[in-house]
Every structure is written in structure tokens, then in C-alpha cells.
């Protein structure tokens, strides 16, 4: 059930979490499906609802920077600098975990992923629950991430008894995940925080394409985030040979590809990458609901949030290769 995010409903959702159940809640990146991260049975309900493989660890959400000390060891000064600059916000950091975090959350890893979301409803919910909240995106495993409460309802239906309505997610792609190791820091998943921003605090952070078919992060799987309709990059199809009445298009600023598609969406008519990221999953959800057999997407430049957008589109297209 989709509920207004007033005080009573936030408390009601927090009670559900305390009781060991799951609730869906808004964040600035995508909607999450949350449970008490210290309760392994509660966390198992997340995996069950999403049909998520148990080798995929979850992100733990906190409501204050100091709550990080309850669940992880902070061994480097640059970690404090990083979170003071970017939290709350679309940045997840992977740190050595404390014993309070059960293995099911980390899929047996000795590290835990942590994030403080920049959404008032999420912060109030976590605080009222009295525990950090583990939450993946609130979608069925491998499918489109939700950026509106209706997206959660569509995929999870009655599996999420409470869906707190926080409006459209303003960032629209998942958080950037970075890991600290003995050798330094590296990016595990590009996301809503531009890696160039992170470099202002950690100039030598490592970033390469880490996609693999043996991931420790589903964001690192070769295919993921896919709509239920086949998706291809536009230059890999011949638009002149296509039945355009059965094809929809997802274009960047609308200045290219003037074909007569059955339907189309423009990510940002002013060519703004942040606006494009915020619209990405929303438009893919809309397109998969249209009466079409193929979604063709335009490649965009690999810079700024364009990196996270291309990561999601490439993984969606890989599903249909």
C-alpha cells in the first residue's frame, strides 16, 4: 500500500521494521526495500521478496554520520573527510564490518557497504526504527530500479505492505560505491555521485570497468537493470529496416535520430546529464508499458553522470544479447 509520508505513517513503517518486516521507502537515488540490518530473519525477507541471489550483499542505510561507528571500523582519516563532504548523498562506502552486522547482509564478506541517503523521509524512518536499515533497490532482481512509489507497487505488489511515498527520486540512478583496501580506494559501481567529485578528496582513486560475471556486487554483473522489453543501442539496429510502429526510442537531447518511432522519450532536451539520470528509469518504466517490441536507446558521452547512465543502459542491453 502506498502511504503519504506523514509522521504517523513513518512511525507505522518504523514499527514494521522493528517487528522484523520489510517496508519500501524513498531515497534520492532509487526506492529501497528496507529491513532491520541486525535481524537476519528480517533481512532474509528482502532476499525472498526480490528473488535476489544470496551472494549479493546489501547496503546498510544510516541516519547520521556517527551511526557509521556502530557498524564499521573507520581506519583512515580520508573516510571522515569523504562522508563529511558527501553525506547525506549518493555515495556508498565499503568498510570492515563490526560483529553486529550478520553475514546475510554482507553475503559472508568481512566488509559492509554503508550509505546515508539524502531524503528526509528515509532519514526519519531510519531514526524512528532505532536501527540501521539494510536496503537494496525495491525491484525484482535484475529488473528496472524504481524511482516512484508506483514502480515499487508494479514489481513487488503485496510483497511490500508499506510503500512510503516520497515523490520522484531526484538523482534517479543508484549510489556510487567505493571500497577502501590496504592499497587505497577504488570505485566498485559508478552512480549518482560523479567520480570527478570524489577525486577532490581522494585524487588517486582507482576506477576501471569492473564488470564481471563473478561479481561481489550485482552492480558489477554484466547484465542487470533491464526492462521487460528488448533494448538495443540505436547504432546496432538499422532504423530504415525496422518496423517503427513496434519500436520506442530513448534519446538524449532529441537533436539526433529523427525517425518516426511509435513513441519516444527525451532524457534532457537541454542536454543536462543530471536531468537525464533523474529521468532514466522513469522513462524506461514508461516505455516498457507501451505496446512495443523493442526499445532503441542513444549512446551518450561517458562523462559526469553519463558514466552511470551508460553503465545501466549497457547492462540492460547485455541482457538481450
Q: Which is nearer to ligand TXA, 56 or 170 (CB)?
A: 56
Question: In the range 84-143, which residues lie near Mg ion by CB under 5 A?
Answer: 137
Of 14, 49, 71, 135, which lies in the binding site for ligand TXA, with binding defined by CB under 6 A?
A: 135
Helix ranges, the chain (H): 7-18, 40-50, 68-71, 77-86, 103-106, 120-129, 149-156, 195-198, 273-288, 306-318
Residue 25, all three cell numbers:
521507502
Q: Which is nearer to ligand TXA, 152 or 300 (CB)?
A: 152
Provide the 8-state DSSP code for 269. T
Q: Which is nearer to Mg ion, 252 or 281 (CB)?
A: 281
Minimum distance from residue 45 beta carbon to ligand TXA (Å) = 14
Q: How many residues bind ligand TXA (CB under 6 A)?
A: 30
Of 58, 72, 123, 163, which lies in the binding site for ligand TXA, with binding defined by CB under 6 A?
A: 58
Q: Contact 36/22 with Cβ under 8 angstroms?
A: no
Instruction: Report the SS3 class of residue 19.
Output: coil
Of 88, 132, 136, 142, which lies in the binding site for ligand TXA, with binding defined by CB under 6 A?
A: 136
Question: Is residue 59 near ligand TXA by the rule CB under 6 A?
Answer: yes
Task: Name the one range near ligand TXA by CB under 6 A: 36-44, 106-114, 199-207, 273-281.
Answer: 106-114
Residue 18 to residues 39, 49, 89, 120, Cα–Cα distance (Å): 9, 18, 25, 19
Question: Is residue 118 near ligand TXA by the rule CB under 6 A?
Answer: no
Q: Is the preceding omega at residue 88 within 30 degrees of 0, hence cis?
A: yes
d(CA 255, CA 270): 10
Minimum distance from residue 270 beta carbon to Mg ion (Å) = 28
Residue with the shortest CB distance to ligand TXA: 136
Angle at 26 between CA 166 and CA 58, to 5 degrees: 175
d(CA 216, CA 46): 18
Residue of 140, 189, 137, 127 lying closest to 29 (CA atoms): 137
Minimum distance from residue 78 beta carbon to ligand TXA (Å) = 18
The residue ranges that bind ligand TXA (CB under 6 A) are 27, 29-30, 32, 56-59, 90, 92, 94, 106, 109, 111-113, 115, 117, 135-137, 174-175, 177, 188-189, 216-219
Binding site for Mg ion (CB under 5 A): 137
Amino acid at each position: 500500500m502506498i502511504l503519504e509520508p506523514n509522521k504517523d505513517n513513518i512511525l507505522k513503517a518504523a514499527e514494521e521494521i522493528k517487528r522484523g518486516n520489510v517496508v519500501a521507502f524513498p531515497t534520492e537515488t532509487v526506492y529501497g526495500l528496507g529491513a532491520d540490518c541486525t535481524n537476519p530473519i528480517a533481512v532474509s525477507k528482502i532476499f525472498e521478496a526480490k528473488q535476489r541471489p544470496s551472494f549479493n550483499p546489501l547496503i546498510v542505510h544510516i541516519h547520521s554520520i556517527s551511526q557509521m561507528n556502530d557498524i564499521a571500523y573507520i581506519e583512515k582519516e580520508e573516510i571522515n573527510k569523504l562522508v563529511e563532504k558527501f553525506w547525506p548523498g549518493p555515495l556508498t562506502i565499503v568498510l570492515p564490518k563490526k560483529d553486529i552486522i550478520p553475514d546475510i547482509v554482507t553475503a559472508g564478506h568481512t566488509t559492509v557497504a554503508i550509505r546515508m541517503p539524502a531524503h528526509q523521509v528515509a532519514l526519519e524512518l531510519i531514526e524512528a526504527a532505532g536501527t540501521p536499515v539494510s536496503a537494496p533497490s525495491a525491484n525484482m532482481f535484475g529488473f528496472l530500479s524504481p524511482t516512484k512509489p508506483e514502480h515499487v507497487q508494479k514489481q513487488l505488489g503485496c510483497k511490500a505492505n508499506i510503500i512510503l511515498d516520497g515523490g520522484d527520486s531526484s538523482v534517479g540512478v543508484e549510489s556510487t560505491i567505493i571500497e577502501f583496501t590496504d592499497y587505497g580506494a577504488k570505485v566498485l559501481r559508478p552512480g549518482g555521485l560523479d567520480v570527478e567529485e570524489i577525486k577532490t578528496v581522494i585524487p588517486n582513486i582507482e576506477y576501471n570497468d569492473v564488470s564481471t560475471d563473478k561479481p561481489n556486487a550485482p552492480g558489477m554483473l554484466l547484465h542487470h537493470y533491464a526492462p521487460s522489453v528488448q533494448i538495443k543501442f540505436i547504432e546496432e539496429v538499422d532504423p530504415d529496416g525496422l518496423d517503427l510502429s513496434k519500436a520506442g526510442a530513448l534519446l538524449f537531447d532529441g537533436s539526433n535520430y529523427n525517425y518516426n518511432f511509435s513513441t519516444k522519450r527525451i532524457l534532457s532536451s537541454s542536454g543536462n546529464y543530471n536531468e537525464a539520470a533523474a529521468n532514466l528509469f522513469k522513462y524506461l518504466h514508461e516505455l516498457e508499458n507501451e505496446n512495443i517490441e523493442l526499445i532503441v536507446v542513444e549512446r551518450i558521452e561517458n562523462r559526469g553522470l553519463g558514466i552511470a547512465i551508460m553503465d545501466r543502459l549497457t547492462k540492460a542491453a547485455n541482457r538481450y544479447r
